Chain A
Amino acid sequence: MPSGPAVPQDITELGLEELLNTGSHLGQQDRAEIIRRAAAAVFVISQEDLRRSGVTSIPEALRMVPGLHVARLNANQWAVTARGFNGQFANKLLVLVDGRTVYTPIFSGVYWEALDLPLADIERIEVIRGPGASLWGANAVNGIINIITKQARDTQGAYISLSVGDEEQTLATLRYGGQKNEQLHWRVFGKWSQRDGLLDMQGEDARDDWTLASGGFRLDWLPAPGDVVLLQGSLHRADLQRNYTLPSLNSASGNETVLDDGTLTTQSLSARWEHTDSPASRSALQFYYQRERRSDISADYTLETLDLDFQQEFAISQQQEIIWGLGFRYSQDDFNQSEIINLQPRQRDYQLFSLFAQDRLSLFDDRVELTLGSKFEHNSFSGWEIQPSLRALWRPGSTQRLWASVARAVRSPSRAEDDTQINSFLLPASAAMPPSLFTVNGDRSFESETLIAYEIGYRIWPRDDLFLDIAAFYNDYDDLRFASVDLAAAQVDDTVLTIPITLNNAERGALYGFEIAADWRPYEKWHLQLAYSYLQADFEFKPSFDTTTLVPAGLGDDRNPQHQVSVRAGFQLAPAVELDVWLRYVDSISAVQALGAAAAPSLSIDDYVSLDLRLGWQPAPGLELSLHGRNLSNAPYIEFLPESNGFPVQVERSIYGQLTWRF
């Protein structure tokens, strides 16, 4: 991602007098150096990318990242994953907001719909494909997303943003930043959005409308030279209408669709103190508390989490740096009975202790860099986990990098996998069988899923207007989650046969593929960005399992689009007018099958091409008007199918206009 414009002559030969007379402007501050120096597959979404892509939510922004598959399940639910295993409960991607995890241990996943921070407050989103468990711990299996918000001093003054459209009916953001003195800056924000539902398979309104309201603050304080304190807090409330398929004896198909009004509220408060007493060392202490409350037909619970982390970095010499850290997390949940998901025991608390250390070594006159590290952690679900990694980066010249890595990561069991009972689906009575209710039951003997990942990558930027990044991987998984029908444990109760499906670790296999990211600025006024992803899967049952009892849901081979392409083109049509074109192609997904698949009609998902357009105009400094069209090509189409108690929904075309004003 080159930053600067093309300069006609070799600027490095300019003398002092010439430099004094060289007109200069602050170009786009890209984050290319983060990518260049990493011995991992990294992609950075900058604030400029967010603004020009016209997205209104974080999962939509992630569609531009190679190696990620983003699919909308319904108006207010997304399935997002890196390098395979996508699904309603996609569980191998860790997501952090300013160092605070938003990955819920209840279902091992992320409530993307509740990730409602103002996009204008985001400095950048760093996306790492591949395991990052040696630093970030369990569940950083296939990828990590680090959302980093702007410092309060970079958001001074007022910011107002208002969008109106057919799907994005009303989105409003208000922000104000101020300062007490040079040492203390703050901002507060409020955000409200109301969005329309998508379409059901008949093309009618699916009525899955949703409304979000959030507010929060950030305070950056420099109490003394060498100390910085950061305080953040946020409140979010999501009112979500969703369709659920519930087992029902009154329905001929055995299942009925119910439109539910649910709420999801989250609150967080975090504090971070960073201290340094020499250029060679710095340490940080971070604390946060967060609470999530979900209340809908599917699940009804409260989860509270306390987290404390300490981290120290120091340079031993010019060639060697060490980072180490300690962490402790305490979580407590409290479930109420719901129609779909019930947990026993209703209340449970769990802890996570972790320790990590990493050594980075520069060799051969800085041409080679080795990073060796490991995380050691103990969690209440699977006990001790050791997750090491070894990475090497080679600099053959100043414009090329070659890197390789091998790493281990685990996905630890969720609370639901341990203790759940899900009323999944009902087979109606037949000549041979009474009505049969299939329930998915958690099992405390369910173990962590494990990964050993082998990665290699190459980057080249032959000129400052061209950047090419290629990464290839072979992920070797073991103990993957699968399910068995436990007919021996079936029970007849009021003429209904209840058949438990139990979770096990019966599957293993490999995912492999590669991703290409290219960034080209043929002229100062054009910017072309390409992402291509290729993914191939190969799974099997472990021979030790009795395959006759496994649910007839198929292996996970086909849950992933094999090819994905994203092309973004940005043009400066006139000094204050921008045009952005974003084309995406997502390959077909042949069988999204899961536990209820036997009862649900089998649907494959066709490939699709999607087109987004944005026209932006800055009539005055600080003021921007833009018109956006989303999914303009061949909508409506479905992107994915929910795996459990679900209701397929089609994505629609939409348009919206946006006004933003900074003063």
Chain B
Amino acid sequence: MAFLNTAYQRIIRSVIWSLPAQICLLLACLLLAGIAGGQEKRSDVYAVMAVYTYNFAKFTHWPPASIPVSGSSLNLCLLGEDPFGMSLSQLEGKTVKNHTLHIRRYPRVAVLADCHIVFVSRSEDWRLDTILRELAQAPILTVSDIPDFARRGGMIALQIVEQRVRFSINTAATAQAGLQLSSKLLELAQIVD
């Protein structure tokens, strides 16, 4: 500190760093940042992905046996670490064709039999094959942003292309599971065979 320790600097410092001055400084910073601030126009990737998943639910027909009663809940299960922040919670209670969307989170392990949609988090990449093997042919829509998800046997893969979230669909996997995706969904998707 020797190079800062002249008496002059000491005085300046003691003025600048007195408590009231600090508070003023903090307020000035807030004001400055408020001027510099403003609303961000782009959305968080995972907020967009959550809404995509909600839309996928709207455009998917499950076999009647898997959602028997109108009014029963449609379970959206998240397997693995939650990347969504609050955006998935905002879908809780939304209505999809007379069904109430219910979010279930399974950060570590899960029995997925009751789920209608499973979003597989990137944290599960290492065991994706095991998960997809377990879900194969079950009427459960699988969605993920794990790279190559659709090619590895998942149903709907989300990926970022030029700052936009795009999706691709593995139609063989959805057909095997007995899920019908609406033509609108298929039109907008990239199809993976």
**How many Å lie between the Cα of A14 and that of B113 in the bound state?**
29
**A571 contacts which chain B residues (CB < 8 A)?**
29, 32-33, 36-37
Interface string of A1-32 (1 = CB under 8 A from B): 01111111001101111011111111101101
Bits for B38-77, please: 1 = Cβ < 8 Å to A, else 0: 1111111111101110110001000000000000000000
Instruction: Kindly identify which residue among A2, A11, A634, A652 contacts B48, using a CB–CB cutoff of 8 Å.
Output: A11
* Interface: A314 (CB within 8 A): yes
A196 nearest in chain B by CB position? B1
Q: A11-B47, A12-B51, A26-B45 are in contact. Are A523 and B38 (CB under 8 A)?
A: yes
Nearest Cβ distance between residue B25 and chain A, in whole angstroms?
A: 8
Tell me which residues across on chain B come within 8 A of A652, comparing CB atoms.
1
Which residue from A14, A461, A525, A581 sits with its C-beta under 8 Å from B37?
Answer: A525
Give the distance in Å from the alpha carbon of A115 to the alpha carbon of B135 in the complex: 43
B173 CB to closest chain A CB, in angstroms? 17
Residue from A276, A398, A523, A572 in contact with B130 in the complex, judged by beta carbons closer than 8 Å: A276
Whole-angstrom distance between the Cβ of B65 and the nearest chain A Cβ: 18
In whole angstroms, how far apart are the Cα atoms of A19 and B167 in the complex?
Answer: 11
A37 with B86: CB separation less than 8 A: no
In the complex, B128 has a CB within 8 A of chain A: yes
Task: Name the one of B36, B43, B129 contacting A574, with C-beta atoms under 8 angstroms.
Answer: B36
CB of A225 within 8 A of chain B? yes
Contacts of A4 in B (CB 8 A): 43-44, 46-47, 85-87
Within 8 A of B (CB), among A276-318: 276-282, 313-318
For A631, the closest partner residue in chain B by CB is: B17
- Chain A: interface size category: 35 or more
Q: Which residues of the other chain, A, contact B126 by a CB distance below 8 angstroms? A: 222, 225-228, 274
Q: Are B30 and A526 interface neighbours, CB within 8 A?
A: yes
Nearest-Cβ distance from residue A368 to partner chain B, whole angstroms: 14
Asked if B12 is at the interface (CB within 8 A of a chain A CB), the reply is no
Q: Looking at the complex, which one of B32, B50, B106, B165 makes contact with A315 (CB distance below 8 Å)?
A: B106
Interface residues of A in 109-166 (CB under 8 A from B): 166
A546 adjacent to chain B (CB < 8 Å)? no
Asked whether B55 lies within 8 Å of A16 as measured between CB atoms, the reply is yes
Does A583 lie within 8 Å of B85, measured CB to CB? no
Contact in complex: A318, B86 (CB < 8 Å): no
Residue from the list B3, B33, B166 in contact with A526, Cβ < 8 A: B33
The smallest beta-carbon distance between A19 and chain B, in angstroms, is: 6
Interface residue from A26, A278, A399, A581 paired with B26 (Cβ < 8 Å):
A581
A33 within 8 A of B: yes
Instruction: Evaluate contact between B110 and A24: CB separation under 8 angstroms.
Output: no
Query: Are B129 and A23 neighbours in the complex by a CB distance under 8 Å?
Result: no
Nearest to B113 among chain A residues (CB) is A318
**In the complex, A625→B114 CA distance in Å?**
51
Q: How far is the CA of A585 from the CA of B64 in the complex (A)?
A: 62
Neighbour of A19 across the interface among B42, B48, B85, B131, CB < 8 A: B48
CA distance A25 to B55 in the complex (A): 20
Residue of B at shortest CB range from A527?
B33
- Residue with the highest number of chain B CB atoms closer than 10 Å, among A4, A7, A225, A461: A4
Task: List A contacts of B90 (CB < 8 A).
Answer: 12, 398
Contact: A24 with B185, CB < 8 Å? no
Decide yes or no whether B172 CB sits under 8 A from chain A. Answer: no
Verify A313–B108 contact, CB threshold 8 A: yes
> Are B110 and A525 in touch, CB under 8 angstroms?
no
A579 at the interface (CB under 8 A from B): yes
User: Are B164's CB and A20's CB within 8 A?
Assistant: yes
Report the separation of the CA atoms of residues A374 and B30 in the bound assembly, to the nearest whole angstrom.
48
CB distance from A227 to the nearest CB of B (A): 8
| Chain B residue contacts of A24, Cβ below 8 A | 42-45, 47-48, 160, 163-165
- B39 near A12 with CB under 8 A, answer no
Decide yes or no whether B155 CB sits under 8 A from chain A: no
- Whole-angstrom CA separation of A161 from B41 in the bound complex: 33
Closest to A166 in B: B1
Tell yes or no: A632 within 8 A of B by CB: yes
The answer to the question of B188 belonging to the interface, with a C-beta cut-off of 8 Å to chain A, is yes
Question: Which residue of B25, B29, B48 is within 8 Å of A22 (Cβ)?
Answer: B48
A321 within 8 A of B: yes
Q: Is A487 an interface residue (CB 8 A)?
A: no
A573 at the interface (CB under 8 A from B): yes
What residues of B have a CB within 8 angstroms of the CB of A274 in the complex? 126
Report A149-204 residues with CB < 8 Å from chain B CB.
166-167
Given the known interface contacts A4-B47, A22-B43, A314-B109, the answer about A523 and B37 at a Cβ–Cβ threshold of 8 Å is: yes
Residues of A within 8 A of B114 (CB): 318
Taking the nearest CB of chain B, how far is it from the CB of A443, in angstroms?
Answer: 43
CB of A654 within 8 A of chain B?
yes
Cβ-closest chain B residue relative to A277: B130
Given A4-B47, A33-B85, A569-B26, verify A524-B129 contact (CB < 8 Å): no
Contacts of A313 in B (CB 8 A): 108-109
Once the chains bind, are B128 and A653 in contact (CB under 8 Å)? no
**Nearest-CB residue, chain B, relative to A526:** B33
Tell which of B30, B45, B79 touches A27, judged by Cβ atoms closer than 8 Å.
Answer: B45
Interface membership of A46, Cβ < 8 A: no
Contact A3 B127 (CB under 8 A): no
CB neighbors of B among A597-620 (8 A): 609, 611
What are the interface flags for B62-105 relative to A under an 8 Å C-beta threshold, 1 for contact and 0 otherwise?
A: 00000000000000000101111111011111100000001011
Give CA–CA (A609, B163) in the complex, Å: 44
Leading 3 A-B pairs by shortest Cβ distance: A3-B85, A225-B129, A4-B44
7 contacts between A and B (CB under 8 A): A3-B85, A11-B43, A11-B48, A24-B48, A32-B85, A318-B113, A653-B13
Add 8 more A-B contacts to A24-B160, A525-B36 (CB < 8 A): A2-B85, A2-B86, A29-B83, A33-B82, A279-B131, A280-B109, A282-B108, A398-B90
